[in-house]
Chain A
Amino acid sequence: MTIRVDRRTVLAGLAGAAALPAFAQDPGSVTIYTSNNQQAVQAITDEARTKLSGLKLNFITGGSGQLLRRMEAEAARPQADIFWSSSANTLGAFKGLYEPYASPQLSAIAPALRDPANLWTASNLHVVVQMVNTNQLAGQPAPRTWTDLFNPAFKGKIIIADPANSSTAYTILWGVRQMLGADGLKKLAANTIVTSAAATVLRAVAQGEYAIGLTFESNAYAYVAGGQREIALVYPSDGTFTSPEFLVLAKNAPNAAGAKRAFDHIISKEVQTALLEAAFRRPSRTDIDVAKIVKLPNMADIKLFAINEDEAAAKRTEFLAEWAAAVAATR
């Protein structure tokens, strides 16, 4: 008799909780899993408010590997419509999760920046830079090349993310290893502090905790554009590395039609321009003049060192071990 009172309370609580917030999936919305930062996301949503009427973009944020594994776990009942973004070496391991899509926008995208089978298409291109806080150089001239970073005066003043977690750091260190060999990698490791999160590199250099951060141009330039005069971007004159950010349509997307609209939207000229203006993402389209819109050099004026993405992906375990050994040797 009396037990009912108690059970009812429990059940009422559970039922109340179930009824209140369990709104159904909205058909007018597209879910995008993204490893991008909020500047980039806000650039897309701000444009979408006027350009994508009737379609709401919902973003789930996380590391690219983490999100792709989540998509794998949800494969029986997909939640994501779009994944944005990762480099080809990470995407290649999860090919079963994507739907090939030939966007009408494709003709404007450089052929090198899309998959021949249309599994992925680049939204933009990252360029590696040295982010320098000129107040913290302690009288040393700013570095101009990768080998300048081996200067003993920079010991403990250079920061990079852990390549095991950060594809940014992986791209940079793999590039340095290809350009300057095993010895070069060891010399860099001797001067460098490793942090586990990529966002820390930017904060640390901006705050003056470290003098030099190894990162992508887009994220570092935000501090220059924000008015922090002591921050400078160095494009190493011995060559730097690039990494495209690829966009992917999810297989069995819950809102496939909406997903294609959102996909076209993200690689449209308007949004790529907005991404460049607000988040300093260098467009993958060939019809946008970067130097006219922001104070970033055109690609033609940057010396590049080509890296083989497939090899970088294939030798991942081996290379991470080499880097870990190089770091361990300096302690």
Chain B
Amino acid sequence: MTLSRQIGSVWFWLTASLLALLSLFLLYPLAHMLASSFAGGGGRGGSGWGIFLSDPKYLTALGNTVLLGLSVTLGAALIGVPLAYFAARYSFPGKTLIAVLPLTTLVVPEVIAAQTWLMMFGNNGLITRSLGDVGVSIPSFYGWFGLTAVMTFIYYTYVYIGTLAAIRGFDVQLEEAAQGLGTSPNTARWKVLVPVVMPAVLASCLLVFTLVVGNFAVATILGGRVALLSVITYQAFVSEMGSDPLMQSTLASVSIGLVAAVLFLQRWIVSRGRYEITMGRGAKPQRLKGVSALLLALAASIVVIISLLPLFTVIAGAFTRARGPVMRWGEWTTLNMERAFLNAPDPIINTLIFAGSATLISVVVSTVASYLIVKKRTVLTPALDYIASLPLALSGTVLGIGLVMSFNTGWLTLTGTAMIIVIAYVIRRLPFGVRNASSTLYNVPNSIEEASISLGVPPVQSFFKVVLPIMVPSIAAAAILVWTTTVSELSASIVVYSGGKETMPIQIFRLIDSNLMAQASAYGLVLVVTILLPIIIATTIFKIDVFASR
């Protein structure tokens, strides 16, 4: 298409207006913040990079972060992909439960998760002590062992969800065709299923990697002496006298660069082979019986139960009597729940309103954006594509500070309003929605839409009548992913919120930071329910088969 024809098209202007919105709420704050931090650096110019390269502490932290990112991503894929495959293709005893439960791990605050694991494997943990009694000593949980184990069991869910959606969308007729042409079932699966599902797996692996790079909660509790980029960046930021903005922006740039590099790599791999398949019928789950069914169910439940341990702690903690920070395990009470609902219900109400608005906006924006990026390429598309994935490379803290600095005064004053929280949510989770929606779009052939247009239906109507219905399952999945991660979002909202507008994660963070586990668990439990309720309604009342529970 020539440039003049592009400018005449509806899609060009839609792309341009999305770009304008993103520039205002994402690029401008980012530029503003980086500029100010350099200005505040006392004119030392590029010496931040000099310090970064000369002090081994920083390079070690970078190396550790990459290593941790890779090992957690690998671990998460090794758990998430097989689990998704079995959940999509087989039915076995207890599958309904096993298919849905991993989602709950997304909602347990990471701090609580880390604490729970310490109760098991810490220096004084239950398992550490009982193994010690029989003469087995396990390596210290502080450091690599704890970091890798805990993050893997928190983050495999993202791989699981991403892969599950892709396998469900895969047309099993392709596999059957390959078999019909004389390929053995296993080879057919390897040669046909893998290339089609791979983009989704890579996309979710990328997500896990970025989450590990940005993770602060687990890193700070379990890091021990392993220096990590997120922790030293945060330390540079929080360092009380505020005298070190240069290192803070340098370190922030390093983590942005690191994620950008991985993003680039992932894109390159996806672009090497793009497969379009017709949405035919998905595979019918194969019923397993006998020993293999039991073994499979057992393996899956072990994984799920381990990842659910923190959830059990939350439930027990919410109903356990506490005196200050001391938990009286075994003494039950409903006092914590009463306090959450009667004395201080604001965090609950705020969370519902803010996250609800953000999810709504997110779904619309990311559906339109992913359609534009995948199907309606113009000269502006590459810019939209990269800017829409930029939030992946930003930690919530960086985004939050940028928004506060940029919209504190002037024609658009947002600090002190709830709007700024909603904007922070939408921007932060934009890549989630876009990635989820677009991974399915790659599998929608252009020919369907072209057929509609050639039959006389205008392009935009064709989108609504032909493409949108195909996208519905992935939009629903994106909506739920955005909702779950927004409801539990902490690092950006804790920077931009103002008095009286605290959300549940903020309140939980405050309570845990004050070591009030019981009260924190009460809000934690409400948070879990808040996240699960829409999923249950979606799957049971609206019969949206988001998680392949049948």
List residues 24-60 of chain A with CB under 8 A from any CB of chain B. Answer: 25-26, 29, 31-32, 37-39, 56, 58-60
Contact digits for B29-67, partner A, Cβ 8 Å, 1 yes 0 no: 000000000000000000000000000000000000000
Q: Would you call A289 an interface residue if the criterion is a C-beta within 8 Å of the partner chain's C-beta atoms? A: no
Evaluate contact between B239 and A39: CB separation under 8 angstroms. Answer: no
CB distance from A100 to the nearest CB of B (A): 22
Evaluate contact between A3 and B10: CB separation under 8 angstroms. Answer: yes
CB distance from B250 to the nearest CB of A (A): 17
B418's partner among A7, A21, A62 (CB-CB below 8 A) is A21
A58's partner among B14, B499, B519 (CB-CB below 8 A) is B499
List residues 148-175 of chain A with CB under 8 A from any CB of chain B. Answer: 162, 164-165, 167, 170
- Among all A-B residue pairs, the 8 with the closest Cβ atoms: A226-B326, A58-B499, A208-B124, A65-B240, A21-B418, A37-B514, A31-B499, A17-B357
CB distance from B523 to the nearest CB of A (A): 12
Evaluate contact between A6 and B324: CB separation under 8 angstroms. Answer: no
A165's partner among B119, B238, B497 (CB-CB below 8 A) is B238
Evaluate contact between A162 and B235: CB separation under 8 angstroms. Answer: yes
Task: List, sorted by A's number, 16 A–B pairs whose CB atoms are closer than 8 Å.
Answer: A2-B460, A10-B368, A17-B357, A20-B357, A21-B421, A39-B324, A61-B513, A73-B408, A76-B409, A77-B415, A79-B416, A162-B235, A223-B324, A223-B326, A227-B328, A316-B241
Given contacts A196-B220, A206-B325, contact A136 B124 (CB under 8 A): yes
Q: Tell me the nearest residue of chain B to A93, going by C-beta.
A: B241
List residues 460-493 of chain B with CB under 8 A from any CB of chain A. Answer: 460-461, 464
Q: Tell me the nearest residue of chain A to B349, going by C-beta.
A: A21
CB distance from A194 to the nearest CB of B (A): 8
Of A111-119, A197-205, A240-248, A302-310, the one contacting chain B is A197-205
Complex contacts, B288 vs chain A, CB 8 Å? none
Evaluate contact between B498 and A79: CB separation under 8 angstroms. Answer: yes
Q: Would you call A300 an interface residue if the criterion is a C-beta within 8 Å of the partner chain's C-beta atoms? A: no
A3's partner among B241, B460, B513 (CB-CB below 8 A) is B460
Complex contacts, B358 vs chain A, CB 8 Å? 17
CB distance from A98 to the nearest CB of B (A): 16
Complex contacts, A56 vs chain B, CB 8 Å? 500
In the complex, A69→B499 CA distance in Å? 17
In the complex, A61→B506 CA distance in Å? 9
Of B269-277, B359-367, B428-436, B447-455, the one contacting chain A is B359-367
Complex contacts, B509 vs chain A, CB 8 Å? 61
Evaluate contact between B418 and A223: CB separation under 8 angstroms. Answer: no
Q: Tell me the nearest residue of chain A to B406, going by C-beta.
A: A73
Residue of A7, A16, A21 with most chain B CB atoms under a 10 A cut-off: A21
Evaluate contact between B325 and A63: CB separation under 8 angstroms. Answer: no
In the complex, A56→B220 CA distance in Å? 34
**Tally of contact residues, B, Cβ under 8 A:** 75
Residues of B within 8 A of A (CB): 10, 13-14, 17, 115, 118-119, 122-124, 220-221, 223-225, 231, 234-235, 237-243, 322-326, 328, 350, 353-354, 357-358, 360-361, 364-365, 368, 401, 404-405, 408-409, 413, 415-419, 421-422, 458, 460-461, 464, 494-495, 497-501, 506, 509-516, 519
CB distance from B395 to the nearest CB of A (A): 14
Given contacts A38-B519, A165-B240, contact A60 B14 (CB under 8 A): no
Q: Tell me the nearest residue of chain B to A166, going by C-beta.
A: B240
Evaluate contact between A222 and B500: CB separation under 8 angstroms. Answer: no
Complex contacts, B13 vs chain A, CB 8 Å? 3
Complex contacts, B224 vs chain A, CB 8 Å? 193
Given contacts A162-B235, A199-B514, contact A65 B119 (CB under 8 A): no
Q: Tell me the nearest residue of chain B to A162, going by C-beta.
A: B235
Evaluate contact between A62 and B494: CB separation under 8 angstroms. Answer: yes
Complex contacts, B350 vs chain A, CB 8 Å? 21
CB distance from B292 to the nearest CB of A (A): 42
B498's partner among A60, A72, A225 (CB-CB below 8 A) is A60
A38's partner among B17, B238, B405, B516 (CB-CB below 8 A) is B516
Q: Would you call A291 an interface residue if the criterion is a C-beta within 8 Å of the partner chain's C-beta atoms? A: no
Complex contacts, B516 vs chain A, CB 8 Å? 38-39
Complex contacts, A228 vs chain B, CB 8 Å? 326
In the complex, A10→B464 CA distance in Å? 14
In the complex, A76→B408 CA distance in Å? 8
Evaluate contact between A207 and B239: CB separation under 8 angstroms. Answer: no
In the complex, A208→B14 CA distance in Å? 59
B360's partner among A13, A32, A207 (CB-CB below 8 A) is A13
Evaluate contact between A14 and B239: CB separation under 8 angstroms. Answer: no
Evaluate contact between A196 and B324: CB separation under 8 angstroms. Answer: no
Q: List 4 additional A-B contacts (Cβ < 8 Å) besides A56-B500, A60-B499.
A: A26-B500, A90-B241, A196-B220, A207-B118
Q: Tell me the nearest residue of chain A to B422, going by C-beta.
A: A17
Q: Would you call A270 an interface residue if the criterion is a C-beta within 8 Å of the partner chain's C-beta atoms? A: no
Q: Tell me the nearest residue of chain A to B220, going by C-beta.
A: A196
Evaluate contact between B419 and A202: CB separation under 8 angstroms. Answer: no
CB distance from B23 to the nearest CB of A (A): 16
In the complex, A283→B400 CA distance in Å? 36
Evaluate contact between B419 and A225: CB separation under 8 angstroms. Answer: no
CB distance from B70 to the nearest CB of A (A): 23
Complex contacts, B124 vs chain A, CB 8 Å? 136, 207-209
Q: Would you call A74 an interface residue if the criterion is a C-beta within 8 Å of the partner chain's C-beta atoms? A: yes
CB distance from A321 to the nearest CB of B (A): 12
Q: Would you call A272 an interface residue if the criterion is a C-beta within 8 Å of the partner chain's C-beta atoms? A: no
CB distance from B415 to the nearest CB of A (A): 6
Evaluate contact between B458 and A225: CB separation under 8 angstroms. Answer: no
CB distance from B457 to the nearest CB of A (A): 10
Q: Tell me the nearest residue of chain B to A222, going by C-beta.
A: B324
CB distance from B241 to the nearest CB of A (A): 6
CB distance from A20 to the nearest CB of B (A): 6
Q: Would you call A70 an interface residue if the criterion is a C-beta within 8 Å of the partner chain's C-beta atoms? A: yes
Evaluate contact between A64 and B14: CB separation under 8 angstroms. Answer: no
